[in-house]
């Protein structure tokens, strides 16, 4: 093997190694981002029972640490998705409605819209779910 062939082989090996590393890093980053989104959606579904019709100003139980923490993470995790941030702001605005009955209805609608968008972004297949799957909870 000549020196020229060795150099070409070495350069080819370096380029292919760098290219493979870049592709792997990109795919791992994308996968981790999706996992983070899925975990947040999971947390919100898991803690949504903490939404109450209580007399609190926001309609959220004052001891709802899990739900509130999960909701507060939305702007960080979904920072690159304007539609989700708009739905998040809409949900927050509905939580400030003074009338308890109206607040409850509007919050449920806004939360359902937000969850649908988040599920889609997190690659959770929910197209065949009816609205009750987004609304119902098992809180004893």
Neighbours of 34 (CB within 10 A): 14
Cβ(135)–Cβ(48) below 8 Å = no
User: Which structure tokens are listed for 80?
Assistant: 């690159």
Q: What is the pLDDT of residue 31?
A: 94
81-135 confidence digits (pLDDT tens): 999 999 999 999 998 888 888 988 898 899 999 999 999 999 999 888 887 777 7
Summarised one tens digit per residue, pLDDT across range 25-40 is 999 999 999 999 999 9
Look at residue 53 and tell me whether its pLDDT is greater than 60. no
Distance CA 129, CA 92 (A): 24
Structure tokens at 25: 């890093």
Rg over alpha carbons for the chain, rounded to the nearest Å, is 23
Query: Greater confidence, 59 or 112?
Result: 112
């Amino acid at each position: 093997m000549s020196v020229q062939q060795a150099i070409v082989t070495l350069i080819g090996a370096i380029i292919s190694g760098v290219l493979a590393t870049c592709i792997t890093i990109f795919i791992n980053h994308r996968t981790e981002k999706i996992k983070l989104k899925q975990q947040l959606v999971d947390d919100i579904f898991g803690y949504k029972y903490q939404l109450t019709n209580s007399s609190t100003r926001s309609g959220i139980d004052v001891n709802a640490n899990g739900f509130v923490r999960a909701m507060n993470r939305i702007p960080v995790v979904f920072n690159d998705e304007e539609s989700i941030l708009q739905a998040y702001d809409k949900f927050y605005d509905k939580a400030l409605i003074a009338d308890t009955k109206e607040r409850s209805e509007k919050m449920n609608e806004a939360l359902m819209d937000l969850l649908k968008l988040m599920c889609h972004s997190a690659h959770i297949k929910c197209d065949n779910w009816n609205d009750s799957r987004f609304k119902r909870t098992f809180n004893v």
